[in-house]
Amino acid sequence: MSGPLLLAQSFDPAFVSLLEKLRKKYPAELFSLTGIAPEQLDIDFMSRQFFRASNRKGSATADHSIDPNANVSGRGVITFNYEVPKPYMKLNSLYNLWRTLCEQFTMEAADAAIEAEMIGAIYINDSWDIGRPYCFNYSMYDIALEGLKMGGRLNIVPAKGLFTFLRHVEQFTVYAANSTLGATGLADLLIVISRYVDDMLDTGYDNHIKVGGESRVWTYVAEHLTSLIYTLNWEFRGNQSPFTNVSVYDDAFLGQLVPAYVINGKAPRMETVKKVQDIFLSCFNQVLERDPATFPVVTACFSLAEDGKELADPAFVKRIAEHNLKFGFINIYVGETSTLSSCCRLRSNINDLGYANSFGAGSTKIGSLGVCTLNLPALARDASAETAGKDNEAAVREMLEMVGAMTQMVGFINHAKRCFIADRIERGSLPLYKLGYMELKRQFSTCGFTGLYEAVHILGYDMREPEGLEVAKRILERINQTNGFLTELLGTPHNMEQVPGESSAVKLARKDSLRGRNPEGWELYSNQFVPLWEEGVDLLDRIRIQGELDGYCTGGAICHLNVADRIEKPETMEALIRHAAASGVVYFAINYAINRCLDGHMTVGHGVDYCPICGKRITDTYTRVVGFLTNTKHWNATRREHDWPHRTFLKTKEQTA
């Protein structure tokens, strides 16, 4: 033996030199928060940490991963095999990003991007794997018409009945969810399902399976929809369930969408689609009575009447209000019918692809290639460094310049990822593109942002007041203007989203603290226009502010309307939905705390210790960490200890009466 075994990597020496320079320049913990510290790259050390801590009380899987995710709860070898190697993948991904930036732009731009990620000026979402796209909203119509083409050895022909079609959907979801990093949208699923239901209603058969008369058909449909819900919650995306979304639509949306779904010479009947939607929502409520189902995220799509204020389909509003009473599981989207038209798949104007968000809601055949997030509090801190408390307007102008420059950096980073993905498509490594299920040109390069509320505060304003609200609008408008410039410059679609920020909002606040840029001591930055833990803000305030700013977020934002106890009257739920829509809120959820006791009863109530049904102790509480229900025990430590305990759940007038 001549010496120790050296496990060297073949990175470009210039990249290694850059990391060494950053290591000497900044606190070591920045490397840990980024996920590439020496101890994280020591797989033996990480293994011991993972398994020795797995039985500690209060320890979650999120505490032992560089990519915390409340959708990951397991502590077994499958989770270990997915989570522990991520530091290596992150280091390699950062290298590939740096190399592609050098090729597409300059080494100076590449170095600046890696440094910005390291210090927390930006957060490159899912940067542990830049070789996979972020999210896409697939069309189930493709599967109905063409079957499954990604089987490799198999050529699976189109289904002739509901039973087979749902198996195709499940098989496709397994493949698609493991081919992307974020949401696997199945938004139009229920529309396609309805076409097979029509055949059953006409013949009494599901292809060769005898079903019977109309009542038996609907029982059969309910059983299969319930089975699908359970299947989509199974952890077949490695160590987590796939992040899926299904939408239900009002009459105005259905009138635009349904005629385009012609299968075997016929489109589904509108009345069938509406009943399938209702049965699906009833099935989801029944599942939630037994089990805390997280997926699919359910989005109800409402269209606006001509006045732009009232909702166009009062009957649909009433039905959604009734379905949402028990567990508040439905997310609400409000928009014009054109934003979700199935014809959008044919549009070539990259500025008008349609609506899409990180939860998988929106138009079909659309998505996000990659997300890179601006740390707005950090930019505000730098902008106000010389003018704090002296000239707030000067600080705002400086902030706008910084926002423009950093948005351009984000655009270049996303463009580098696009080039890297395009190369993998050409090499046959991402088959869903060449098979026609995905389209690169229909995926946005998304500029995310977090901490807008804190940024406005740092600049000397209060976003709850008119002056502060105007500052917030100017910041968002500058991002949109820069995205417009990037769209023209690079010839690719760019949009903006207030990111969910489940882990990034925590890491960015911590990085700022390490660098002396968080004197307020914020444990995490807000992923809402008004933080969920802000006191003195009622539901109407939250709706008002969200309505003023939502229209700027071309890639989406979600507003949590946290309600302390179950709303009992449909009229109250309906009034909340109508008021939010009239105020300009685009995407929101009436959000409960859902509890499970020792006997498994599922009930609603914030701050409840004992089950109102059996009196036994509450063991688990579920609520939206961002846009979907998760167990608060599985949140990362900061969200468990500083976010959840301080979230404000407000009583409605109904509850205080």
Which run of H or E residues covers position 406?
A: helix 392-426
Query: What does the pLDDT read at residue 237?
Result: 81
Query: What does the pLDDT read at residue 400?
Result: 98
Which run of H or E residues covers position 107?
A: helix 107-119
pTM, whole model, 2 decimals? 0.92
DSSP state of 357: -
Sign of CA dihedral 58, 59, 61, 66: positive
Sign of CA dihedral 288, 594, 231, 147: positive
Output the DSSP codes for 527-580. SSSS-TT-TT--HHHHHHHHHHHGGG-TT---EEEEBSS----HHHHHHHHHHH
The DSSP bridge pattern shows strands 629-631 and 618-624 to be: antiparallel
Task: Yes or no: say if 171 and 348 are a contact pair by the CB < 8 Å rule.
Answer: no
Tokens for 88? 């290596």
Instruction: Please list, in sequence order, all residues whose beta carbon lies within 8 angstroms of the beta carbon of residue 95, skipping any fewer than 6 positions away.
Output: 11, 12, 15
The rounded distance, in Å, linking the Cα atoms of 309 and 314 is 13
Positions of the chain with pLDDT under 70: 1-7, 53-75, 151-152, 337-362, 653-657
Q: What is the pLDDT of residues 62-94, one digit of tens each?
A: 566 666 655 556 667 777 777 788 889 999 999
How many other C-beta atoms are found inside a 10 Å radius of the C-beta of residue 338? 14
The rounded distance, in Å, linking the Cα atoms of 361 and 283 is 20
- The number of angstroms, rounded, from the C-alpha of 13 to the middle of its chain's C-alpha atoms is 37
Largest CA distance in the chain: 81
Query: What does the pLDDT read at residue 628?
Result: 84
Task: Yes or no: say if 458 and 471 are a contact pair by the CB < 8 Å rule.
Answer: no
Task: Yes or no: say if 158 and 145 are a contact pair by the CB < 8 Å rule.
Answer: yes
The rounded distance, in Å, linking the Cα atoms of 367 and 372 is 14
Query: What does the pLDDT read at residue 358?
Result: 56
The DSSP bridge pattern shows strands 443-450 and 209-210 to be: unpaired
Q: Which amino acid is at 57?
A: K
Of the candidates 494, 493, 498, which has an alpha carbon nearest to the alpha carbon of residue 475? 498
Which run of H or E residues covers position 303?
A: strand 297-303
Q: What is the pLDDT of residues 133-142, one digit of tens each?
A: 999 999 999 9
Q: What is the pLDDT of residues 509-560, one digit of tens each?
A: 999 999 999 999 999 999 999 999 988 888 999 999 999 999 999 877 899 9
